[in-house]
Structure 1
Amino acid sequence: MFINHERHIAHLDLDAFFVSVECLKNSSLKGKPLIVGGSSDRGVVAACSYEARSFGIHSAMPVRLAKRLCPHAIILQGDMESYSNYSRLVTDIIRDSVPLFEKSSVDEFYVDLTGMDKYFGCCRFTTELRQKLMKESGLPVSYALASNKLISKVATNEVKPNGQIEIPFGSEKTYLAPLSVAKVPGIGKETAFLLLRMGVETVKVLSEIPVEMMQNLLGKNGIELWRRANGIDDTPVIPYHEQKSISTESTFQQDTIDVEFLRSQLVRMTEKIAFQLREQNKLTGCVTVKLRYSNFDTVTKQLSIPYSAADHTLLKAAKDLFEKLYERRMLVRLLGIRFTHLVPGNYQINLFEDTQEMIRLYQSIDHIKHRFGEGLLMRAKGLESMPSEIRHHPTFQRASIRDIRKG
């Protein structure tokens, strides 16, 4: 028998985040169909206002299709630096206000308020936190307070935009029952279509299917979906620590002053951990480059950047840092790069600055690396730092990213 422990978990969501930031910067945009995305017909929609959504527009849609659906929509290129700054501002406010929170994306947060009901009242506290966030950031915020992350996430989606709700402990199944199965996290289009063909339209019907049947139908995922349909979720709120990082460094066999070698090594290393970043569905907000000279003096430089997991963005930051850092023109013993200020998220966040071709390119590159190994596909510049006998091996020559796109 599964038991939901009485916890108090709030889910806070910045409504239509990119759009809200743009409206904050230019109040004349409020109430209009607004699209944040690529400005060319080959671009894609990164975010859209609720007014634009009423025309059937949604994220990841080609801009040319969005224009046909709503010819009078206002299209903005987007400003990732502003979005990142506002995300950090909200993070700082929450950090200063609560003892335990999880940043699940650039615009979503879980707050664990378990135990606070004895002293203050969780609903009252969350309401005041929401008001504080809106006052200090100027952005609209929705929240739901429930006994677990699953219910609070679903409920927040139901009360957006600019709403709040509390789902009392013990009423999880009752709340979920009338909702469409498509609103259960983890149920994608294919699974939803399969369930609908079976006549399973609501969460109530899904929750009544024997767990053994769900397991036979969908394997382990079937068990998890059964748990969610019954409002069961013991997932903890994972404390947010910006010091978590992904890094790599290389100590050379011989100290070197070959700048081109160092640059190519930096490209190879940056690509390597950028792929790891995307594999973990994370974005970085800070890049650090590290140099150790032959006399063992070690220097570092870091740069805060708009949240990203894109090679071309991270490579530019790494190269700029290296040029500023390498000023002694001494022999170098070690080179390293580190990504910090990590937040959950994926490459989709950069949609507004890329074409569909660019997005497909990254998806193809990651697919090849995932299948055959990350070392078999890299920018031509990165190959320059490989040993000659490896660099000229037919496998590496065929795998060079030069065949896909000049690096």
Structure 2
Amino acid sequence: MERAILHLDLDTFFVSCERLMDRKLHNRPVLIGGTSDRGVVASCSYEARTYGIHSGMPMRMARQLCPHAIVIRGNSGTYSKFSDMVTEIISENSPLYEKSSIDEFYVDFTGMDRFFGAYKWAQELREKIIKETHLPLSFALSINKTVSKVGTGLAKPNNHKQIIQGTEKPFLAPLSVKKIPMVGDQTYKMLRNMGVEKIYTVQQMHPDLLRQVMGKNGVSLWKKAQGIDNSPVIPYHERKSISIERTFEKDTTDTVKLKSIVTAMAENLAYQLRNGNKLTACVAVRIRYTDFQTYSKQMRIPYTSLDDTLIKTTLELFETLYSRRMLVRLVGVRFSHLVQGNYQMDLFQDAPKMLSLYQAMDNIRNRYGQDAVKRAVAMGSKAIGRSNPFNGQPPIIPAHRRA
């Protein structure tokens, strides 16, 4: 049976969300991301891209390229809500879908041609999403994920495309090799050093040559260049870890401030665990110094989601890790080895009043925001709050929250 794989991508998603809330942003160059000079552009409007700005660019450079751009810090919670709206529509109208990021989806329409026609079905799904959310959306339909994703990139902005079965190879041939999803900056640089610029060149190469240069990834690259990709649409990915990092506007050695921030991070992540009915068995702390040397340390613990245990472990790791006594650029906390489940009270150590207090605090946070309640020691930190990472698929959020 002929496969029919749809790739959906919400165009300039963060910017589009902001424009729904503020019409003054329409037709203006908009940058979303860290507002300080050390910030990074998480998303930018098409108007900003005409100045050479792109995602991942330092905010300082973006401002130099477009001084009149409107810079917005962004709100991951807001973006997550809009993403959830789109997810709900897709789940109600699709036989099988995969949420690959906060703004990208794959849908398997294989077999739908017997009833309606996969391309027409995809068009109606797109129209329904746009009508109900007012978010611009592009898609491409082909026989596999790779070709569909490449097709969506060519369909943008706010349009759609179909790549008929049997035309995958000529469709890909004239495009830059960087269009293949697995080709990042380093791989692209290596291929350019080999004289490879277009996908057509990869199509003409022997797979063994790419295997010698890139290992098994070389064979995978060759197959994708031929338009071959048998990877299935996977409806759910179990999240294995959650984390928060913060890069400071100004490097610091203020240990009181650093401890306040890592405490707030651990407290917030513990709240996210309880909200998602998850437990963690491993805590890790990460520090990057002003010379960009980065160190991390982790500790295994009994499964828990309680602040007391997690904060205590986090601070212990920080104390052992912060040994160079020099300026710190970044700190981060990560909980891993996650499993589904609720915390089981230890009859010999846990007081029922303490567990009731956790429940009351979480209820306040759910109603008034994640930073509505925090420990006194964490009051010195700015808002740490992030959207719920266990609400369906985990949202992709800019790696660093800027202090």
TM bin, normalised by shorter chain, reads: 0.5 to 0.7
User: In 2 relative to 1, CA 183–108 (structure 1 residues): closer, same or farther, beyond 3 Å?
Assistant: same
State yes or no: 1:294 paired with 2:347. yes
For residues 304 and 219 of structure 1, what CA distance do their matches in structure 2 show? 52
Amino acid at match of 2:280: T
* Rounded Cα–Cα distance in structure 1 between residues aligned with 2:40 and 2:178: 24
More helix by share: 1
Aligned counterpart for 1:341 among listed residues 391, 395, 398: 391
Q: Residues 251 and 16 from structure 1, CA distance in 2 versus in 1: closer, same or farther, beyond 3 angstroms?
A: closer
Post-superposition shift, 1:60? 2.0
* Change in CA separation of 1:219 and 1:57 when aligned onto 2, cut-off 3 Å: same
| Aligned-partner residue type, residue 264 of structure 1 | K
Please name the residue that 1:192 is paired with: 188
Residue identity in the other structure for 2:150: V
Cα offset for 1:217? 1.6
The aligned amino acid for 2:134 is G
Match of 1:323?
Answer: none
In structure 1, how many angstroms separate the alpha carbons of the residues matched to 2:53 and 2:302?
50
**TM-score of the two chains, using structure 2 as the length reference:** 0.68
Q: Secondary structure at the match of 1:102?
A: strand
Confirm or deny that 1:276 pairs with 2:336: yes
Q: Is 2:50 the partner of 1:54?
A: yes
Give per-residue Cα distances to partners, 1:31-54, cap 9 Å, x unaligned.
110001122222221111011011
Once the two structures are superposed, residues 185-227 of structure 1 have per-residue CA deviations (whole angstroms, 9 ceiling, x without a partner) of 1112222222223322211111110111111121111111000
Match of 2:100 in 1: 104
CA RMSD in angstroms comes to 3.8
Decide whether the 8 Å contact of 1:180 with 1:203 is kept in 2: yes
For the residue of structure 1 that corresponds to 2:141, the secondary structure is: strand
The residue number in structure 1 matching 2:72 is 76
Distance in structure 2 (CA, Å) of the matches to 1:87 and 1:240: 16
Given that 1:242 and 1:340 are in contact with CA atoms closer than 8 Å, whether structure 2 keeps it comes out as: no
1:141 corresponds in structure 2 to 137
SS in 1 for 2:336: helix
The structure-2 alpha-carbon separation of the partners of 1:146 and 1:339, relative to structure 1 and needing over 3 Å to count, comes to closer
> Match of 2:334, SS?
helix
2:170 to 168, 174, 178: 174
Aligned to 1:264: 312
CA shift for structure 1 position 243:
9.4
Alpha-carbon separation, structure 2, partners of 1:229 and 1:217:
16
Distance 1:132 1:212, change over 3 A: same
AA matched with 1:92: E
Q: Deviations over 1:281-303 (max 9, x none)?
A: xxxxxx99736252998888568
- Structure 2 segments unaligned to the other structure (5+ residues): 241-275, 282-300, 318-330, 376-387
Give the structure 1 partner of residue 402 of structure 2.
354
Deviation by residue 1:133-158 (Cα, 9 ceiling, x = unmatched): 01111100000001000111111011
Alignment pair present for 1:211 and 2:207? yes
Q: Secondary structure at the match of 1:274?
A: strand
Amino acid in structure 1 at the alignment position of 2:347 = S
Q: 1:290 to 1:216 in 2, by over 3 A?
A: same
Please give the alpha-carbon distance, in whole angstroms, between the structure 1 residues aligned to 2:60 and 2:19: 23
**1:119–1:40: structure 2 CA closer, same or farther, 3 Å change rule?**
same
Tell whether the 8 Å contact from 2:145 to 2:231 is kept in structure 1 after alignment.
Answer: yes
The corresponding residue for 1:247 is: 279
* Aligned residue identity for 2:121: F
Contact 1:242 1:342 in 2 (8 A): no
| Percent of pairs with identical residues | 43
Cα distance, 1:272 vs. partner? 11
Contact preservation (8 Å) 1:288, 1:339: no
TM-score using structure 1 length: 0.67
Letter in 2 for 1:135: K
Conserved in 1, the CA contact under 8 Å of 2:36 and 2:402? no
- State the SS of the aligned residue for 2:100: strand
Aligned pair count reads 312
Q: Which moved more, 1:27-36 or 1:235-244?
A: 235-244
Query: Given the superposition, is the C-alpha separation of residues 268 and 138 from structure 1 closer, same or farther in structure 2, using an over 3 Å criterion?
Result: farther
Where do 1:380-399 residues align within 5 Å?
A: none
1:201 to 197, 203, 206: 197
Contact 2:85 2:133 in 1 (8 A): yes
Q: Which amino acid aligns with 1:55?
A: Y
